[in-house]
Amino acid sequence: MARLGKNRYGKSRVRLSRITRVKNPDSTEHHEFNEWTVGVLLEGDFDASFTAADNSKVLPTDTMKNTVYSLARGSRAATIEEFAMELGDYLLANHAHIEQVSVEIDEKSWERLAIDGALAVTTFKMGGPEVQTVRAARAREGAWQIASGIDGLTLLKTANSAFTGYIRDRLTTLQPATDRILGTRATVAWDCISSAPDFAAVRGRILAALLKTFAGHRSMSVQHTLFDMGKAALAAAPEIARIHLAMPNLHHLLADLSPFGQDNPNHIFVPVDEPYGTIEATIER
């Protein structure tokens, strides 16, 4: 005897770019540019589409794609968080059989290009490999649950990082290090206490706190640095309840130059993509 369990469906990787034309105080104009990748998932009264081949309550995923583009055309949302809520509210308002909507948006970090000390009017450069993220969910009678974040925050420091005092057994070959490279490609997510803070300001303060702490931290391990980064983010943003950091340890191994009759005083390293250490934790108030 089979029965249908929890289910949902939607549209993934709906990509769009948006140009916003901004009037300057001197009546000139500059452009702002956004590039988003949007995903939508719906839960609700869709059982018959699975069990009885009845599509009468199925909103086509192609329609979801078109809804993203149509809403974006008239949207005044300044952040991915605001647009995620706008999109989800629209779907709930227009389809009574939808019980819950989840919206995920990733945003690439495009920045206006600086030329001779002035920001270009219509020219942009990619600000970094990282993307801004939001994962937003709302049940029909509930409030929005917003988890904003950053994916791919790539950082490296060449000093003030050590790893000593760990367990050593017969299979341990790693040598203690008091001065090593610390590199990571962090994924960060934080839960907002309020559903409508100044998302851009909160994101800016959290990112600044994370970067400042990483740069100035005397690291005894990735775990040590991760916790202090999370603690600093909570202090910088009282609007969030918790923050989750996943910080893989991207190794740079000291090259052995002894076969060539050369020493290597922490000068030449070999980057190793895999395997890598995986460290993650949630820091809460």
Integer Cα distance of 83 and 214 in angstroms: 31
Is 11 part of the annotated catalytic residue set? yes
Q: Which of 133, 217, 225, 251 is catalytic?
A: 251
Q: Is 172 a catalytic residue?
A: no
Active-site residue (options: 31, 57, 61, 224): 61
3-state secondary structure the chain: CCCCCCCCEEEEEEEEEEEEEEECCCCCEEEEEEEEEEEEEEEECCHHHHHCCCCCCCCCHHHHHHHHHHHHHHCCCCCHHHHHHHHHHHHHHHCCCEEEEEEEEEEEEEEEEEECCEEEEEEEEEEEEEEEEEEEEEECCCCCEEEEEEEEEEEEECCCECECCCCCCCCCCCCCECCCCEEEEEEEEEEECCCCCCHHHHHHHHHHHHHHHHHHCCECCHHHHHHHHHHHHHHHCCCEEEEEEECCECCEEECCCHHHCCCCCCCCEEECCCCCECCEEEEEC
Distance CA 170, CA 163 (A): 19
Burial class (CB in 10 A: 0-12, 13-18, 19+), 182: buried
Cα 42 to Cα 7, 10, 22, 72, 95, distances in angstroms: 9, 6, 35, 19, 11
97 is catalytic: no
Residues with active-site annotation: 11, 61, 251
